[in-house]
Structure 1
Amino acid sequence: MLYRVEGIVIRSMDYGEGNKIITLCTETSGKIGVLVRGAKKVKSRHAALTQPFTQGEYVFFRQNGGLGTLNQGEIIESHFSLREDLFLAAYASYACELLDKTLQDEEIGSFWYTQLKACLEGLTSGKDPQIVIHLFEMKILQAAGYGPSFESCVSCGRVDDSPYVSPRLGGRLCRSCRHQDPAAMQVTPGVLKLLTLFERMDLRRLGNVEVKEETKQELKKVMRAFMDVQLGLKLKSLHFLDQLDKYEI
């Protein structure tokens, strides 16, 4: 059967002497694997369609599920600039691997696709990559069913000025419920404001924001804690990103 989908390349791997297998996050069909014959050859007309972060329209044959075989395609946005910048490539790779490991094969939902598309566009357009990525992480948590809550206490629903958040319990704790998680993290008002904003905001609405470096470092620790506790993924791209952060000026 012939399929036509709009998708983003979240993984690309060599297969045999001249072929590649790409994994697409699609708008209508979830996550799909597609074999691209001859993609490694110098004169291949499909080589550009297999590059990581590429958004395009893909037409492929597939029988009885499983791997498809590319027939033709057209690039919508290559995101060439992301592959040319080491730091941006690291952030984009993390976003794609995170989605790849979280999204089940052919799990339907355009939300995954629209948020990844917005993430890559945000990185391309010069928005603060760390803010873009942390907001994307929040959207992944929500889409996976582990979205934290910061508007009110996750235990009793009370609203107060408590500065405590619990990655284990999934959100904010009021002062009366603080004892339920001795390991709860105390955060500054700036970080709590960002977390509350991230909970409500669609990535497509993110504008250019300026956040102090110390606030971003604190935010990183909090989001890392939520990601580790709720998803527990060991991602190669995240380790590489952490190594790069040590040398970023």
Structure 2
Amino acid sequence: MLYRVEAIVIRSTDYGEGNKIVTLFSREAGKVSVMVRGAKKMNSRYAAVVQPFTCGQFVFFKNGQMGTLNNAEIIQSYHMLREDLLMAACCSYLAELTDRLIGEQENEPYWYEQLKAAFQAMTEGKDADIIVHIYEMKMLAIAGYTPQLDQCVSCGETAGEMAFSFGLGGILCKSCRRSDPQTVPLSGAVLKLLRLFSRMDIRRLGQTDVKPETKQQLKTLLRGYMDNHLGLRLKSRNFLEQMEKYGL
């Protein structure tokens, strides 16, 4: 069957002497793997279109688990994201999250639009940390682990001081937090942002101004929560953490 899709390259792997296997995340067909013959050759017309984060129109034939590329045209190369070390690390993280949490051929146009919007927002100079955290919330929703943020997961209380429980999957009020000694204190600003992120469409994201200490709390909470519930080992996140460790 012949497919024509708009897609983003989320993974590109060498195969043999001159070929590549690319994983495309598309609007029309979800996530698919496609063989691109001759893509590693210097004069290949597909050398540019198989670069990570590239958005393009792809035509491929698929009769089984893997397709074979027939034609491709670049819509947006996002070359700026590959040339900046921090941006490349953030985009690699988003791409790897997508690859690990979305199954083959799960056709969900909304999630495709969110990834595309995340890459576009980064090219426009919007806060990469905030974009990453919003996208993390999207991926938690896909995995079925959206944290409970509107009321205490134990008693349903909606007002007052709250803490965050990784194990119980959401916020705990002051009275119930003793049920989990591992809770993390939660400032009003962080809780407000987490609630916003869970509903935010990245396509509507404007410029943001979030204090560094608030962003650090968000990072600690979301990474801790994802580790507790998803248990993913991501090379891209390890690289990001190494950059943060050395202040890059």
1:43 equivalent in alignment to 2:46: no
Please state how far the C-alpha of 1:176 moved relative to its aligned partner: 2.8
Q: Match of 2:77?
A: 78
Q: Give the aligned residue type for 1:231.
A: L
Unaligned runs of 5+ in 1: none
The 5-angstrom pairing of residues 1-249 of structure 1 reads 1-63=1-63, 65-248=64-247
Q: Is the contact made by 2:101 and 2:142 (CA closer than 8 Å) also made in structure 1?
A: no
Name the CA distance, whole Å, in 2 between partners of 1:203 and 1:149: 21
Q: Give the aligned residue type for 2:224.
A: A
Name the CA distance, whole Å, in 1 between partners of 2:172 and 2:108: 31
Q: Give the aligned residue type for 1:124.
A: T
Name the CA distance, whole Å, in 2 between partners of 1:77 and 1:3: 20
Name the CA distance, whole Å, in 1 between partners of 2:145 and 2:41: 43
Q: Give the aligned residue type for 2:31.
A: K
Q: Is the contact made by 2:60 and 2:68 (CA closer than 8 Å) also made in structure 1?
A: yes
Please state how far the C-alpha of 1:111 moved relative to its aligned partner: 2.5
Name the CA distance, whole Å, in 1 between partners of 2:13 and 2:231: 24
Please state how far the C-alpha of 1:162 moved relative to its aligned partner: 2.2
Unaligned runs of 5+ in 2: none
Q: Is the contact made by 2:38 and 2:44 (CA closer than 8 Å) also made in structure 1?
A: yes
Q: Is the contact made by 2:12 and 2:51 (CA closer than 8 Å) also made in structure 1?
A: yes
**What TM-score comes out, normalization by structure 2 length?**
0.96
Please state how far the C-alpha of 1:99 moved relative to its aligned partner: 0.9
Give aligned-pair identity as a percent.
Answer: 55
Runs of 4+ in 1 over 4 A off after TM superposition: none
Name the CA distance, whole Å, in 2 between partners of 1:14 and 1:52: 13
**What TM-score comes out, normalization by structure 1 length?**
0.96
Would you say how many aligned residue pairs link Structure 1 and Structure 2? Answer: 248
Q: Is the contact made by 1:149 and 1:199 (CA closer than 8 Å) also made in structure 2?
A: no
Please state how far the C-alpha of 1:239 moved relative to its aligned partner: 0.4
